[in-house]
Structure 1
Amino acid sequence: MIAIAVFGFAQITLPALAQNSTIPEDMGAPIVQGMCGGCHSLSGEIAGMEGPPLKGIVGRRSAAIEGFDYSDALRKLGIVWTPDNLKAFLTNPTKFAPGTKKIIALKNEDRLDEVIAYLARIQSTH
């Protein structure tokens, strides 16, 4: 398990999928780079990106990156991006956050787990 502090007030424990031995370490990398990399950076950069950076997303509050132009839907969402919230959002973005700019969904359960495990791993490694 991985535990991370959120704004120093709370701690979120990421489920075993973050270090799941059945999911190879970078299994989700090609999916994230292929499906997400055109709009989101993995390095934390926001310049020229349509979507917010994905580095550090697990445990981050929605619409928390200063200087990024979030949709009203994400600004009003007021959640922490947990693996469960990410899974719900990635499965059906417009249902989870009506009015979001994100329109691409990922419905394959195995790919979702790989993507979320990868996002949890890139908290501070990239």
Structure 2
Amino acid sequence: MSLLKFACASLFSLTLAQAAVAADCAADSSHGAQIFNTECGVCHAVKKDVTGMMGPNLNGVIGRKSGSLAGFSYSQAMRSKDVTWQAETIAELITQPQAYVPGTYMPYMGLASKDDREAVVCFLKSKEAL
């Protein structure tokens, strides 16, 4: 196989894989919205410019540094965590917040189901949460 054919085949495979992940995430987004509303929405908002909640606004949380949303009073533990929130780190946090960030003010016990955690992450990555 020529290098050009290999590169095209690899790119096509990668594009198909990314499309499959995006499709899975899109399907999980509505389930994630339901879980977010029942499990997370008590303390967190995702609509832009909503303040005054017990937890920080999670609109645009993907790519944000931990403890960095202006105007929110984070625990020293969360400010010191030094993580940039990505799908994997958010999933770790919502598995068991106190274990992931010892000393966090977040009173949530954690979301046991891996599928539910992935759905919440998909929701946070979706247009609905932006």
Q: Let me know the Cα RMSD of the aligned residues.
A: 2.1
Structure (1 or 2) with the larger CA radius of gyration? 2
Q: TM-score, normalised by structure 2?
A: 0.75
* Alpha-carbon distance in 1 for matches of 2:79, 2:39: 23
Find the counterpart in structure 1 of residue 98 from structure 2: 94
* CA drift at 1:56: 0.6
Equivalent of 2:24 in 21, 37, 57: 21
Is the CA contact (8 Å cut-off) linking 2:66 and 2:79 kept in structure 1?
Answer: yes
1:48 and 2:41 aligned: no
Name the count of aligned residue pairs: 110
Find the counterpart in structure 1 of residue 121 from structure 2: 116
* CA drift at 1:22: 6.4
Find the counterpart in structure 2 of residue 60 from structure 1: 64
SS in 2 for 1:28: helix
Is the CA contact (8 Å cut-off) linking 1:91 and 1:107 kept in structure 2?
Answer: yes
* Alpha-carbon distance in 1 for matches of 2:106, 2:21: 24
The structure with the greater share of residues assigned to helix is: 2
* Alpha-carbon distance in 1 for matches of 2:49, 2:32: 20
For structure 2, the residue ranges without an aligned partner over 5 or more in a row are: 1-17
* Alpha-carbon distance in 2 for matches of 1:89, 1:118: 15
* CA drift at 1:21: 2.7
* Alpha-carbon distance in 2 for matches of 1:53, 1:61: 13
Find the counterpart in structure 1 of residue 75 from structure 2: 71
* Alpha-carbon distance in 2 for matches of 1:120, 1:22: 9
Give the share of equivalent positions with the same residue, in percent.
Answer: 29
